[in-house]
Amino acid sequence: MKSTGILSGTLYPLLMRMSDQALVEAEWQAPEQPGRPARHAYRLTATGLALARQVAEARDPLDSKALPA
């Protein structure tokens, strides 16, 4: 998480909140290898995709603070 600047313990609470707001949907995926845990896979809903597009269009492409470090 160092490259994003997101603190540990931040991502999953955000995903849960986005799921509650119907911006993402989650599903459990079986492990690819025996002995590995199942995984939660997240996907944008149509509402989440529309919001992401609105945010991307509203972002100033020259704003260096909006770009990943």
pLDDT digits (tens, 9 = 90+) for 28-69: 999 888 999 998 899 999 999 999 999 988 876 666 565 554
Q: What is the mean pLDDT of residues 11-15?
A: 88
Sequence-ordered strand ranges (E) for 1-69: 24-29, 39-44
Distance of CA 61 to the CA centre of its chain: 21
Q: Give residue 63's pLDDT.
A: 64
pLDDT of the residue at 42: 94
Can you tell me whether residue 4 is helix, strand or coil?
A: coil
Which pLDDT belongs to residue 40?
A: 87
Give this prediction's pTM. 0.66
